[in-house]
Structure 1
Amino acid sequence: MTSLDLMHGLLDEALSPILSLSDLTPTSLSYHRSTSHVPSDKVSTIHAVVTQRKSQLAALDDHINILNHTLDKLQGIQARLKEKRVSVQESLTFHEALVSPARCLLPSELLGEIFIRCLPQTSYVTPSSNDCPLVLTRVCRQWRAVALSTPRLWTSLSISLLKAEISGGDTYKCWLEKARSVPLSIRVVHDVGLSDGDKPLSIQWLQPFLSQCSDLWWHGPPVQGLLDNSVQSLSRFQVTFQKADFLVSIPSPTPQLRSVVLQSLTSDLHSLRSIDLPWHQLLELKIQFALVSGATFLQVIDLCTQVQRVSISAICANPSSRTDMQPFPLINTVNRSIDRLEINVIRAGLGDIFEALTLPALEELVIRFCSPRRYPWPHDQFSAFVTRSKCPLKWLTIHHNKGAGSHFTEYLKMLPGLTMVA
Structure 2
Amino acid sequence: MPSEEQVRARIETLTAAIEQQKQVLKDLEEQRCAAQSELNTIIAPIARLPVEISTDILLQSLPTPGTWAAVTELERVCRQWRAIVLCTPIFWTSINDEGIPPPAFPDILATWLERGQELPVSLVLQDADLSMFTYKAAGIQEYAFRVRNLELRGVGDQELRAIAFDFPVLSSLTLAETNCSPKVLLEVLHGAPNLANLNVLEGCSLSWDPHPVPMTHLNIQSLRCEGADTLDLDYLTLPSLRLLSISQCDEFGMNDLRRFLTRSNPPLRFLHMGVQAVDKVEWIVPSLKLVPGLLDFEVQLCGSPVTFFDLFRNDHDLLPELRSIVLDARDHHVLPSGYQGMMDFLYHRRELLRSLRMLIPKKEEAFFLANADVREFQERGMHIHIGTEDRNFVPDL
TM-score using structure 2 length: 0.65
Bigger drift between 266-275 and 239-248 goes to 266-275
Cα distance in 2 between the residues matched to 1:239 and 1:315: 19
Cα distance in 1 between the residues matched to 2:165 and 2:125: 17
Match of 1:124 among 65, 69, 81: 65
| Secondary structure of the corresponding residue to residue 66 of structure 2 | coil
**Unpaired stretches in structure 2, ≥5 consecutive residues:** 1-23, 360-397
Match of 1:152 among 84, 90, 110: 90
RMSD: 4.1
Residue 39 of structure 2: aligned partner: 95
Q: Does structure 2 conserve the Cα–Cα contact (< 8 Å) formed by 1:368 and 1:398?
A: yes
Match of 2:245 among 311, 331, 345: 311
After superposition, the Cα gap between the structure-2 partners of 1:115 and 1:383, relative to the gap in structure 1 and judged at 3 Å, is: same
Question: For residues 184-223 of structure 1, what are the alpha-carbon distances to aligned partners after superposition, in whole Å with 9 as ceiling and x for unaligned?
Answer: 111111232x5xxx69834211222332111111112132
Q: Does structure 1 conserve the Cα–Cα contact (< 8 Å) formed by 2:299 and 2:328?
A: yes
After superposition, the Cα gap between the structure-2 partners of 1:391 and 1:176, relative to the gap in structure 1 and judged at 3 Å, is: same
Residue 68 of structure 1: aligned partner: none
After superposition, the Cα gap between the structure-2 partners of 1:394 and 1:265, relative to the gap in structure 1 and judged at 3 Å, is: same
How far off its partner does 1:288 sit? Answer: 1.7
Question: For residues 215-265 of structure 1, what are the alpha-carbon distances to aligned partners after superposition, in whole Å with 9 as ceiling and x for unaligned?
Answer: 111112132544543311211111224444454123555454211102353
Cα distance in 1 between the residues matched to 2:218 and 2:295: 21
Cα distance in 2 between the residues matched to 1:287 and 1:361: 21
Q: Does structure 2 conserve the Cα–Cα contact (< 8 Å) formed by 1:291 and 1:313?
A: no
Match of 2:297 among 365, 368, 385: 365
After superposition, the Cα gap between the structure-2 partners of 1:413 and 1:200, relative to the gap in structure 1 and judged at 3 Å, is: closer
How far off its partner does 1:267 sit? Answer: 3.4
After superposition, the Cα gap between the structure-2 partners of 1:177 and 1:277, relative to the gap in structure 1 and judged at 3 Å, is: farther
Residue 229 of structure 1: aligned partner: 165
| Secondary structure of the corresponding residue to residue 214 of structure 1 | strand
Match of 2:124 among 187, 190, 214: 187
Match of 2:285 among 354, 358, 364: 354
How far off its partner does 1:273 sit? Answer: 6.6
Cα distance in 2 between the residues matched to 1:179 and 1:127: 13
After superposition, the Cα gap between the structure-2 partners of 1:275 and 1:310, relative to the gap in structure 1 and judged at 3 Å, is: farther
Equivalent positions of 1:12-411 (< 5 A) are: 94-100=38-44, 104=47, 106=49, 108-120=51-63, 123-128=64-69, 132-160=70-98, 163-167=100-104, 169-192=106-129, 201-202=134-135, 203-219=137-153, 220-222=155-157, 223-246=159-182, 247-248=184-185, 249-250=187-188, 252=190, 254-263=192-201, 265=203, 267=205, 279-291=217-229, 303-316=237-250, 330-331=258-259, 333=262, 335=265, 337-347=267-277, 348-358=279-289, 359-369=291-301, 371-372=302-303, 377-383=307-313, 387-399=317-329, 400=331, 402=334, 404-411=338-345
Question: For residues 90-134 of structure 1, what are the alpha-carbon distances to aligned partners after superposition, in whole Å with 9 as ceiling and x for unaligned?
Answer: 7665334212568x35554443333223223xx222333xxx422
| Secondary structure of the corresponding residue to residue 143 of structure 2 | helix
TM-score using structure 1 length: 0.62
After superposition, the Cα gap between the structure-2 partners of 1:206 and 1:353, relative to the gap in structure 1 and judged at 3 Å, is: same
After superposition, the Cα gap between the structure-2 partners of 1:110 and 1:352, relative to the gap in structure 1 and judged at 3 Å, is: closer
Residue 17 of structure 2: aligned partner: none
Bigger drift between 142-151 and 258-267 goes to 258-267
Q: Does structure 1 conserve the Cα–Cα contact (< 8 Å) formed by 2:239 and 2:267?
A: yes
Question: How many residue pairs align between the two structures?
Answer: 318
Q: Does structure 2 conserve the Cα–Cα contact (< 8 Å) formed by 1:317 and 1:352?
A: no
After superposition, the Cα gap between the structure-2 partners of 1:276 and 1:385, relative to the gap in structure 1 and judged at 3 Å, is: farther
After superposition, the Cα gap between the structure-2 partners of 1:328 and 1:235, relative to the gap in structure 1 and judged at 3 Å, is: closer
Cα distance in 2 between the residues matched to 1:200 and 1:111: 36
Bigger Cα Rg: 1
Residue 10 of structure 1: aligned partner: none
How far off its partner does 1:345 sit? Answer: 1.8
How far off its partner does 1:372 sit? Answer: 3.6
What is the identity percentage for the equivalent residue pairs of Structure 1 and Structure 2? 17
**Unpaired stretches in structure 1, ≥5 consecutive residues:** 1-80, 320-324
